Amino acid sequence: MSAPAGAGPAGGAVSVVVEAPGEHRLAPHEPREPAPGEALVRVHATGICGSDRELYQGNRPEGYVRYPLTPGHEWSGTVERVGSGVPAALLGRKVVGEGFRNCQVCDRCHAGESTLCAAGYEETGFTEPGAMAPTLTLPARLLHVLPDDADLTAAALLEPAACIAAAALKARAVPGERVAVVGTGTLGMFAVQFLRAASPAELLVVGTRRDREDLAVRFGATDFRTRDEELPGGFDVVIETAGSAGAARTSAALLRRGGRLVLTGIPAPGAAGLDPTDLVVRQLEVHTVFGAPPAAWAHTVRVFAAGLLDPLPLVTHRLPLTAFARAIELVGSGDPAVGKVLLHPETPEKPEEPEEPEEPEEPEEPY
């Protein structure tokens, strides 16, 4: 991993720029004035996830990243300036924003499926400048306004929450059904919260180890098992969040005949996954999620505003933007004490970083 190769003037604002896989620097930041239809947002916090690490390592699929690039697709902030054609009422409002830069005119966009835009893939933080900077300028139509009293640190996690909202909407869980979540990372814990809101008869969480059991129960799980334990079956709905072929197979095995499976993780290329014969014979209904369309974002903001979504317990580290290298290391460490890592353009007043465990477990396949 390269060391930062430069920064702005003393005391000046900087942004993270990934020049190429494994190479990044801190560059002087100049806000880009909003063009017609755009808004300039003062960034409060930016989250880091596995896809940011893939971007830095060069493992992002071709066509899904464009170097050099300022990363950052999970963020929250406050609208500071707007371009012509944008309502002035947005000024000063707390916001989050969609990442996909859809064309708005193809048949998929008109159907509300903006993540399937026929014009091709463009996304904030991957092919367009992201939020690892003091400000972000983007189309105002992508913004979702938060309540005035919203916690912007918690709101920085609403992008992954929106992806799981998309999964929950596709799962169509209704009160009294037996539901399960496979995976105990950030996405898995959001899946527990969304499914709990549907008043299930049972909510099972399956992970690789016990360190997330208490948090899963706090969010609404009624049972917790590790993948090595005997697992029950007959579930109506399962949401998979781990991103491994093994997790997908476990998820399918949990379902009753005709059950509904939603896959949100992306397994490694070539990994043996679901058995097509099993899918057909058991008539399983399988859905997938890649990103979040506007309906899922709107649903997420409503649930968050209603106090039914609690992202803050997932945050374990808050670091200054200049600690990008450290943040990338934390995300890939496999340390069970590392949850969600947030970067702030300015050092948080009270950085939250738990003590390292005496004997951290070896990294293993996420579940």
Cβ–Cβ under 8 Å, residues 331 and 207: no
CATH number for the region 14-157+311-344 comes to 3.90.180.10
Tell me how many degrees the CA angle 294-55-11 measures, rounded to the nearest 5. Answer: 95
Cβ–Cβ under 8 Å, residues 58 and 38: no
CATH 3.40.50.170, applies to 161-288: no
Cα 27 to Cα 4, 12, 30, 324: the distances in Å are 9, 10, 10, 13
pLDDT score recorded for residue 12: 74
Give Dmax (Cα) for the chain: 66
Cβ–Cβ under 8 Å, residues 273 and 245: yes
Nearest Cα to 261, choosing from 332, 179, 190? 179
pLDDT tens digit string along 292-311?
999 999 999 999 999 999 99
- Give the span between the Cα atoms of 130 and 133, in whole angstroms: 7
Please list the ranges in the chain whose pLDDT falls under 50: 1-10, 349-366
Cα-based torsion angle of the residue sequence 156, 344, 332, 128 in order, rounded to the nearest 10 degrees: 70
> How many CA atoms lie within 13 Å of 79's alpha carbon, on the beta-carbon side?
28
| Through-space distance between the first and last CA atoms of the chain, rounded to whole angstroms | 27
- Positive or negative, the Cα torsion across 358, 362, 366, 367? negative
Locate the domains of the chain by residue range. Answer: 14-157+311-344, 161-288
- Positive or negative, the Cα torsion across 257, 265, 320, 158? negative
Q: Do domains 14-157+311-344 and 161-288 have the same CATH topology?
A: no
For residue 32 the two structure tokens come to 């880009």
pLDDT tens digit string along 251-299?
999 999 999 999 998 877 766 679 999 999 999 999 999 999 999 999 9
Question: What's the pTM value of the predicted model, to 2 decimals?
Answer: 0.89
pLDDT score recorded for residue 347: 63
Backbone angles phi, psi at 29, to 5 degrees: -110, 130
